[in-house]
Amino acid sequence: MSEQRAETRYDVIVQGGQVLDPGAGIAGRYDLGIRDGHVAAIAPALDPADAATVIDATGQIVTPGLVDLHTHVYWGVTYWGIEADPVAARSGVTTWIDVGSAGAYSFPGFRRYIAEPSRSRIFALLNLSSIGLIAPTWEFANPDYWNVDLAEQIVNANRDLILGIKARIDQNTTRGVGIRPLERARELADRVDLPLMVHIGNGPPSLEEVAALLRPGDILTHCFTGGTMCILGEDGRVLPQIRELQARGLILDIGHGTGSFSFAVAEAMLAQGVLPDTISSDIHQLAVQGPMYDLPTTLSKFLALGMSLPDVIERATARPAAAIGRPDLGTLRLGAVADLALWRLEEGVQSYRWHTPSTGSA
């Protein structure tokens, strides 16, 4: 044989795994061929001789790399920040959306020292508060920091990284100023035409005041909070206002964190047929010590609550990618970026330890 190829057809073949990409409707035993960082083939059997590297995924589940819609990775500058890369390597989260760690004053540093050098793919939702989450609380207590004009400038100069606006609205962040910062965040999101993510917890303000300012495509994070802004009414039913908003396109996001996820609320929601639209971690320097730990642990809670594996995976891949306007991520479609995660699904008894944080939530 005289034929010699200078290079193989694929750089990598991931062989023999159960591929699961619910967003693309892919489920089954397939080999994946990867070339130049993109999915170049997905087929029942590829020839291992066609790849420089073959990864044996027999007995494993192969999904798109996870997309975590609620994280805090501005390490060293903000109270909540962790480093993304060490956690990414062990948790399968390849795309991180940092939500509100940086405001207008601190975004240039976030860009240069966090987003650009990280091996993980990092995007941001810009905090309306110019100081972002430097401190655990009070970022909206001073109205001087609700600088819509400056935030608009920062968004327009960084649209490759800034994919939305963030506002934490609860008693610890808005102390004394009520709903007004959310009105400014609404104005900002409308001006730059990006989704608005709103964090809820313990009011004031009330959830009704918040809901009045939400639009289709916006994201309500900590949606299963057990705080006073709980989306269940006194009768234990999901508030009709929220159901109607979700039907029109409001995204209900988990944002587990330390104090923002109630099993009781989750059980009630699922029993009423209301599933979260996205499952995110709200990973931060307290939550990584439990009860959240990481996104896969959070996903496993929803399996324990009775959701199916495809429903859970879709809510941590294609759906959060769509929420930030990047449907090219969180998928294994032909031509997609080859972000992959390999899993083993293990059954057993798992204790989800609970502790009550003393410092609010991010």
Where on the chain is the footprint of Zn ion (CB under 5 A)?
Answer: 282, 362
Q: Which is nearer to Zn ion, 282 or 314 (CB)?
A: 282
Find the shortest distance in angstroms from Cβ 244 to Zn ion.
Answer: 26
Q: Which is nearer to Zn ion, 68 or 282 (CB)?
A: 282
Residue 228 CB neighbour total at 10 angstroms: 14
Q: Which is nearer to Zn ion, 188 or 362 (CB)?
A: 362
| 362/292 Cα distance (integer angstroms) | 13
| 73/115 Cα distance (integer angstroms) | 9
| 301/318 Cα distance (integer angstroms) | 19
Find the shortest distance in angstroms from Cβ 352 to Zn ion.
Answer: 19
Residue found by looking up tokens 């303000």 in the block: 205
Query: In angstroms, how far is CA 279 from the centroid of its own chain?
Result: 7
Concatenated DSSP letters for 330-343? S---TTSB--EEEE
Find the shortest distance in angstroms from Cβ 72 to Zn ion.
Answer: 6
Q: Which is nearer to Zn ion, 254 or 362 (CB)?
A: 362
Q: Which is nearer to Zn ion, 31 or 68 (CB)?
A: 68
Burial class (CB in 10 A: 0-12, 13-18, 19+), 357: middle
Find the shortest distance in angstroms from Cβ 80 to Zn ion.
Answer: 7
Q: Which is nearer to Zn ion, 42 or 133 (CB)?
A: 133
Q: Which tokens hold the place of 87? A: 């956690």
Q: Which is nearer to Zn ion, 218 or 282 (CB)?
A: 282
Q: Which is nearer to Zn ion, 153 or 359 (CB)?
A: 359
Find the shortest distance in angstroms from Cβ 99 to Zn ion.
Answer: 6
- What are the Cα distances from residue 145, in Å, to 13, 165, 174? 51, 15, 12
Find the shortest distance in angstroms from Cβ 355 to Zn ion.
Answer: 17
Q: Which residue is nearest to Zn ion (CB)?
A: 362
Find the shortest distance in angstroms from Cβ 181 to Zn ion.
Answer: 16
| 172/350 Cα distance (integer angstroms) | 33
| Range 308-311 contact pairs with CB under 8 angstroms and sequence separation of 24 or more | 309/20, 309/61, 309/345, 310/20, 310/22, 310/27, 311/22, 311/275
Cis amide linkage into residue 136, ω under 30° from 0 = no
Find the shortest distance in angstroms from Cβ 257 to Zn ion.
Answer: 6
Find the shortest distance in angstroms from Cβ 285 to Zn ion.
Answer: 11
Identity at 193, one-letter amino acid code: D
Burial class (CB in 10 A: 0-12, 13-18, 19+), 326: middle
Identity at 360, one-letter amino acid code: G
Q: Which is nearer to Zn ion, 206 or 285 (CB)?
A: 285
